[in-house]
């Protein structure tokens, strides 16, 4: 996976807005498709972009104080490509889309399919914010027939496949890691392609494969995200996750087992890692070890001490002492 991230806040604040926008836009155009951007005249310039690529699949979070973005014929000539883009609108206002002789109005949370190969005009009365999944025309055509018929047609954000894909893309956008992990990259790419195939109406074998792989992978991602949100609660369990996601407890346990860790193992590991972080941080230094144990979801300090030593080879007290010597 290759990543890039830049924000207008990182530019020299002494520069005038026009110059800051020009420098920021040069980076955007070099990394993504070429577009013409119209800023709000009455607002200070602000813009951000976070980009990740997985071979022929790209995920981007993009936005700023813009009122209009066009993929004009001039922009197409500067950066000719014919990729498809599935756009999730994250801004506060209504996003108006015009492409392929179709017009659509999207409320926040809406989504549509576009293409870089044809002129497009998008405008909003509020600052732009969106997340996009970009796939090559050749790759998408192998999954979904007649994708051009879907251009600029709003997708139902309440459909399970659309909701799963949106959540999965958001988790991918937040992912930042080193070193490079080709196996994980390949898994993410496959899951993204499976889910977009389901969203856009794949048929036959492609749909069956996508359903089996894509939705299961997305649900595993939802379960892990729920563990990350709630692991510090002492009463947290697989049953809590199952109720929140509308699944059975057995299904939650079976899905996590496919990752090589049971629910109990993953929950314990998350709590132990958080405890070690707190023991070695300045903020946690003010807390007693028993307070850290309870804050991380352990009901008994003796059990916490036993598990911590078994995982890291030192007691919590030794871990804190070793950290203070560095």
pLDDT tens digits, the chain, 326 residues: what are they? Answer: 688 888 999 999 899 999 999 999 998 888 888 899 999 989 999 999 999 888 889 999 999 999 999 999 998 988 878 899 999 999 999 999 999 999 999 999 999 999 999 999 999 999 999 999 999 988 888 788 788 889 999 999 988 889 889 988 888 887 655 455 677 788 788 889 888 888 887 555 555 555 556 667 778 878 888 898 899 999 999 999 999 888 899 999 988 887 778 999 989 999 999 999 899 887 777 899 999 999 999 999 999 999 999 999 999 999 888 776 65
> Is there a contact between 49 and 31 (Cβ–Cβ < 8 Å)?
yes
- Reported in sequence order, the residue ranges of 8-124 that DSSP labels E, i.e. its strands, are 36-39, 47-54, 57-64, 66-71, 84-89, 95-99, 102-106, 111-115, 120-124
Residue 68: count of CB within 10 angstroms of its CB = 16
For residue 226, the surrounding DSSP H or E stretch is helix 216-230
Q: What is the pTM of this model?
A: 0.67
Please give the pLDDT value at position 97.
97
Residues in the chain: 326
What is residue 114's DSSP assignment?
Answer: E
Structural domains present in the chain: 2-230 (2.60.120.10), 232-326 (1.10.10.60)
């Amino acid at each position: 996976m290759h990543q890039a991230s830049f924000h207008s806040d990182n530019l020299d604040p002494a520069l005038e807005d026009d110059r800051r926008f020009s420098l920021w836009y040069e980076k955007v155009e070099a990394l993504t498709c070429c577009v013409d951007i119209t800023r709000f005249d009455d607002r200070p310039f602000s813009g951000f972009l976070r980009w990740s690529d997985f071979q022929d699949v790209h995920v981007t979070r993009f936005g700023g104080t813009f009122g209009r973005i066009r993929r004009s014929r001039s922009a197409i000539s500067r950066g000719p490509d014919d990729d498809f883009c599935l756009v999730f609108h994250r801004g506060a206002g209504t996003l108006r889309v015009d492409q392929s002789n179709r017009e659509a109005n999207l409320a926040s949370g809406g989504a549509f399919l576009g293409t870089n190969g044809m002129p497009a005009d998008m405008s909003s009365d509020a600052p732009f914010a969106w997340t996009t999944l970009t796939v090559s025309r050749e790759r998408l055509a192998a999954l979904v027939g007649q994708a051009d018929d879907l251009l600029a047609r709003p997708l139902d954000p309440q459909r399970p496949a659309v909701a799963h894909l949106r959540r999965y893309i958001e988790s991918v956008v937040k992912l930042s890691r080193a070193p490079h992990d080709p196996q994980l990259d390949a898994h993410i790419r496959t899951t993204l392609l499976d889910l977009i195939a389901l969203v856009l109406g794949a048929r036959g074998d492609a749909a069956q494969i996508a359903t089996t792989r894509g939705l299961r992978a997305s649900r595993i991602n939802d379960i892990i995200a729920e563990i990350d949100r709630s692991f510090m609660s002492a009463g947290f369990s697989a049953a809590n996750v199952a109720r929140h996601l509308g699944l059975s407890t057995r299904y939650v346990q079976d899905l996590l087992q496919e990752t090589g860790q049971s629910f109990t193992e993953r929950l314990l590991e998350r709590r132990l890692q958080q405890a070690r972080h707190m023991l070695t941080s300045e903020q946690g230094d003010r807390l007693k070890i028993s307070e850290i144990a309870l804050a991380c979801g352990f009901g008994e300090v003796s059990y916490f001490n036993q598990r911590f030593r078994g995982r890291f080879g030192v007691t919590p007290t030794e871990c804190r002492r070793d950290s203070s010597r560095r």
